[in-house]
Amino acid sequence: MFKHVALLVRKDGMSHEEFRDYWENNHSPLAKDIEGVVRYQTVYPTEPEHAEFDGLAELYFETLDDLHEALGSEGSRDYDPTREVAAKAREDVNNFLDVERRPRFIGEEKVWKDEVDGDTEGLYKHSAFLVRKDGMSHEEFRDYWENNHSPLAKDIEGVVRYQTVYPTDPENAEFDGVAELYFEDLDDLYEALGSEGSRDYDPTREVAAKAREDVNNFLAVEDRPRFIGQEKLWKNEIDDVDGY
């Protein structure tokens, strides 16, 4: 399953409230029906005034060709889909997004832990857009992330679902990967990973503290955007793929 994550930044002159109203009532009803989309979900910031982005849009496709046709390929923001709904959605983003300031990521998802049977709607989610340390290759980064950090991170206190997303085209990807951690309680998320508006956090729970210390071994933390929000599911045609 291939996933496109768009980190949304609103147009100049538009408030977050105006952005969200347009996104929810105009764009999302269109985006969920883009040809090839089998799952569509949005993530709204828990603290918009402190969030690094105005929201996340996450679209899943069964084939990479369908994703590229609808949303473009990594390494390029210029795309002109030929399918009807995809073309309408592409035109519509100009009404509420600053496209040039909107990072995005295309990858394949791996689920490490799932205590909610794939039902993530309404859960609190921390998405970390990972940037490797200087002097480390992408391959070295991925090896450490998979074999050292993820086995630890999935057991952070309060985590009910943990998944990673690996880039389909690492050389052209904007990030080295995405780590997505779900919590049922926002206080548990803040204790484990810090609150919006601050990169300085010092968790007191055992595994969370070990994971916080370990990120320094492979991540450029200050270069790593992140987003804390609550998920809303708009469409799901996936029966049971990787925990969904």
51-98 pLDDT tens trace: 999 999 999 999 999 999 999 998 777 788 999 999 999 999 999 999
19-34 pLDDT tens trace: 999 999 999 999 999 9
Q: What value does the mean pLDDT take over residues 181-195?
A: 95
On whether the CB atoms of residues 132 and 174 are closer than 8 A, the answer is: no
- Of all residues in the chain, the percent with pLDDT exceeding 90 is 87
179 burial type by CB count under 10 A (0-12 exposed, 13-18 middle, 19+ buried) = buried
53 burial type by CB count under 10 A (0-12 exposed, 13-18 middle, 19+ buried) = buried
Q: What value does the mean pLDDT take over residues 197-205?
A: 84
Q: What value does the mean pLDDT take over residues 164-191?
A: 96
Range of lowest pLDDT (77-86, 108-117, 132-141, 194-203):
194-203
